[in-house]
Amino acid sequence: MNKLLALLLLFIHFVSFSQTPDRLFYSSMHPEGWDIYLSRDGGESFENFTNTDVLEYNAVFSPDGKWLVYTSEKDGTPRLCARRSDGTGTENLLIDGHEFTDQAAFSPDGEWLVFASSLGGDTDIFRIPFRPDSIQYISAAINLTNHDKGDFRPAVSPDGKTIAFSSDRDHPIKSHERFPFAMQRTGDIYLMDWDGGNVRRITESDAWDGSPAWSADGQTIWFYSERSGESKIYRMDANGENKSLVGESDLKMISPVEADAESLFVTAWVQDEGYFDLYRLNTGSGEMERVFKENIDMHTPAVHSSMIAFHGGKKPGRLDENKGGFTGDLLVAGHPYSDTLDGQSVALYGVRRAFAAPPSPTETSLIIDSTEMASPLDDLKLSAFIFAGLLIITLLLALSGIVLAFVFYKKVRFWRFLLYTFGGLLIFILAATGFGYMLFFAGTPVSGMRLGGAILAALFLVATMLAYRVWKRRKIDNRPHYRVTRMMTFQLGITALACVFFVLFFGFFFDVGSYFFKVDYRTGEIEELFRVELEDWVSPANSQVIDMKYLPDNSGFLFTMGSFRTDPDRQGDLYVFRFEDESVERLTGEEFNDGFGSYSADMQKLVYRSGKSGNMDLYLRTGDEEIQLTDNASKENFPVMSPDGTKVVYCSDERGTDIDNGRVRTMDMYMISLQPDGTWGEPEQLTNNPTQEAHPGFSPDGEWITYTTEEFGIQDEQPLVQHLIFAPQMYGEIVAQRLSDGKKVRITHTKWEDGAPLWEKGINQAPLEVARE
């Protein structure tokens, strides 16, 4: 009996151990290559304090200088760690929990840590005893702010009685100036007592004020502010009075910390070199002195006596494995990492691209797209060079006309020279402007662009011939007039040549058809699959690939080519690529914005978004039949079909929150279900938040949905994140929601934007034979 029980337990253990976890892929705007660096000689030199592949940042010294506390993402989620500043010993995790912990500050006696965490949902300020040799659970921390908006960057006063911090609590959410769907925050600086009480606001600006830092005597608070349009360093009294700018430097500056009684260390953006660097800012004279002269990014200095800590590293280069994505690796460093979702193990993969690359259901590979050329000597660069040369010649002719106007001003009227010279240049500019309007605003297809270029070329050729006849006649009659007409003929001829060149080599100018690749995310091996050629009826402005999904039977993948957020009649279409015969088929063909398709598991049903009704609505195609699922003036987007074909989840702004007086409306999640009588029911609202939500996806069993949400706000001061990586969309936490009871589980806890989740079944992965470099 005991043997049977033992065998049974062994079998159960084996089965549970051998089950491969599901895989959840999502897009991530993580930066890359940050370590903690330490200078022990006041800035004369520095060395690596940490040296890992994962991000480590925001270091701070303990008051006695013996410990360095910093944030590490080695377990996927940002967590506070500690290590002795002399480099001895190991890195110790300070606080365990699913939530992120970051932005640490010490009490003056070194007994307490104050930090930011997502334990309360939104980011709040917490306090916990500093115990570097043991792990404490996040549940033991005291929530000091407990606010439904974000609180960041705490700093404890030298007497330990007051905590300064920044918060976006008193500003409305705004839409991004260029990207209206992207939500933006504004923050100010606040004070609170040590126990979290007596909160008072001490700055009021329409732009960010952040990263408060105390002077050693507790009389002054240093901070950065964007109130002048660019980020600069300011000072104010400890009660918020007497704010003033420190220095007159043109550099953008953030993250001040007092170096000594006369100066600060700050992080500054050096535009000419493309790096963030550390500078010493004299608080009296305003003079700036570069601390280190190394070509690496340096962020967020911390000081103790002669020691300076900061984080940063070399900028990552462009890698083939991530063509069309961010510079650096395809996956976030340290990924995948495992997490548990309602008792189920899930492997999380952050993909460093604007949209998550779809994973193969059976292989360790992703599909990526890129408009980058296959060779650096591609015809696109050659044609652009020639076109630029034609423009330069035209400009030189115009300049020579000005010179001739002064030379022959007594023989030929001055205005004639200006008319001829600037007339030719104006014609060239008008032609280029016309092409630009057709391309970027009118959405003119390739055929229309070629026709327009041919008409302009013909007109300019006729004008050139007429000018040539005048030139020949003037050559005999009057030498100054001959020079003027010759120059005008050259200008018209160059413009005509540019138009002819534009027509003949249009495909080279706008070679924006996308290349598709298969990449092994474990080895980095890349294989080119195919290239979508730009069809004559497609506008070059509408040729962006914005969504890809594997077909459920693994025979190929769906993708959308067209504008992402645009008018219903702006061209966009669904395509499918099949691996077997390497064919590309267009599934939609009307002159509307069609896209974001999703199949049921049996490939019998296809749901997609289309503007064919004049609004952005959802359509369901079953075989040769098609029905309209939604019909209203709101915007529906990102529809996904459940594996069994009975549910469609999508996002819509039908009941969203108006931002900036209706400039944009936020989106919520909705679901339409198939009824017993075979009809589709009314939309059911799944979420109801005054923030953005998007990019839904189903779990492989169809019981859960995942999506991106802005529900939890941001996790750090917006300027500190957006200075580092292009991330206009300040939402980005991945959430899973069970459809049966609405249970919600937050999956990611980072300050970087995470989005577009794709949930796939797990696969068996053999060990790598060769380690990646």
User: Nearest to residue 296, comparing CAs of 326, 253, 267, 330?
Assistant: 267
pLDDT band at 378 (very low <50, low <70, confident <90, very high): very low
Is the bond into 336 cis (omega within 30 degrees of 0)? yes
* pLDDT at residue 49 is higher than 70: yes
* pLDDT at residue 300 is higher than 50: yes
Could you report how far apart the first and last alpha carbons of the chain are, in Å? 52
Q: Tell me the average pLDDT across 736-754.
A: 92
Give the angle 36-308-721 at the CA atoms, nearest 5°.
50
Query: Within 10 Å of residue 634's Cβ, how many Cβ atoms?
Result: 17
Could you identify the residue written with the tokens 């080695």?
74
Q: Which two tokens stand for residue 82?
A: 């500690």
Cβ atoms of 115 and 150 within 8 Å: the answer is no
pLDDT band at 427 (very low <50, low <70, confident <90, very high): low
* pLDDT at residue 393 is higher than 80: no
* pLDDT at residue 442 is higher than 90: no
The pLDDT value given to residue 17 = 41
pLDDT band at 12 (very low <50, low <70, confident <90, very high): very low
Instruction: Count CA within 13 A, CB hemisphere, residue 528.
Output: 12
What is the distance of C-alpha 762 from the center of its chain?
28
Residue 689 CB contacts under 8 Å (≥ 6 apart), including other chains: 666, 668, 709, 710, 711
Residue 41 CB contacts under 8 Å (≥ 6 apart), including other chains: 306
Name which residue leads in pLDDT, 534 or 417. Answer: 534
pLDDT band at 690 (very low <50, low <70, confident <90, very high): confident
Mean residue pLDDT across the chain: 83
pLDDT band at 343 (very low <50, low <70, confident <90, very high): confident
The pLDDT value given to residue 14 = 40
Could you identify the residue written with the tokens 């470099």?
773
pLDDT band at 597 (very low <50, low <70, confident <90, very high): very high
Q: Which helix (H) or strand (E) holds 480?
A: helix 479-504
Could you identify the residue written with the tokens 């997502």?
118
Eight-state DSSP code of residue 694: E
Q: Model-level pTM? A: 0.85
Exposure pattern of 197-219 as b/e (b: 16+ CB <10 Å)? eebeebbebebbbbbbbbbeeee
The pLDDT value given to residue 508 = 46
* pLDDT at residue 734 is higher than 50: yes
Name which residue leads in pLDDT, 444 or 490. Answer: 444
Round to whole Å and give the CA distance between 347 and 11: 24
Q: Tell me the average pLDDT across 221-242.
A: 94
What is the DSSP secondary-structure string of 125-183?
EEEEE--TTS-EEGGGSEES---SS-EEEEEE-TTSSEEEEEE-TTS--EE-SS-TTSE
Name which residue leads in pLDDT, 305 or 568. Answer: 305
For the ranges 302-316, 488-502, 604-618, 680-694, the lowest mean pLDDT is seen at 488-502
pLDDT band at 425 (very low <50, low <70, confident <90, very high): low
* pLDDT at residue 325 is higher than 70: yes
Round to whole Å and give the CA distance between 289 and 468: 62
What is the DSSP secondary-structure string of 198-263?
S-EE----SS-EEEEEE-TTSSEEEEEE-TTSS-EEEEEETTS-S-EE----SSEEEEEEEEETTE
Q: What is the pLDDT of residues 605-635, one digit of tens each?
A: 999 999 999 999 999 999 889 999 999 999 9
For the ranges 357-366, 455-464, 545-554, 680-689, the lowest mean pLDDT is seen at 455-464
* pLDDT at residue 309 is higher than 80: yes
Q: Which two tokens stand for residue 123?
A: 């980011």
User: Nearest to residue 126, comparing CAs of 110, 105, 108?
Assistant: 105
Q: Tell me the average pLDDT across 431-454.
A: 67
Q: What is the pLDDT of residues 550-563, one digit of tens each?
A: 999 999 999 988 77
Q: Tell me the average pLDDT across 343-364.
A: 89
* pLDDT at residue 160 is higher than 80: yes
Round to whole Å and give the CA distance between 103 and 108: 16
The pLDDT value given to residue 179 = 74
What is the distance of C-alpha 283 from the center of its chain?
35
Tell me what percent of the chain is helix, strand and coil, each rounded to the nearest 5.
Answer: 20, 35, 45
* pLDDT at residue 23 is higher than 60: yes
Round to whole Å and give the CA distance between 695 and 649: 10
* pLDDT at residue 490 is higher than 70: no
Residue 624 CB contacts under 8 Å (≥ 6 apart), including other chains: none
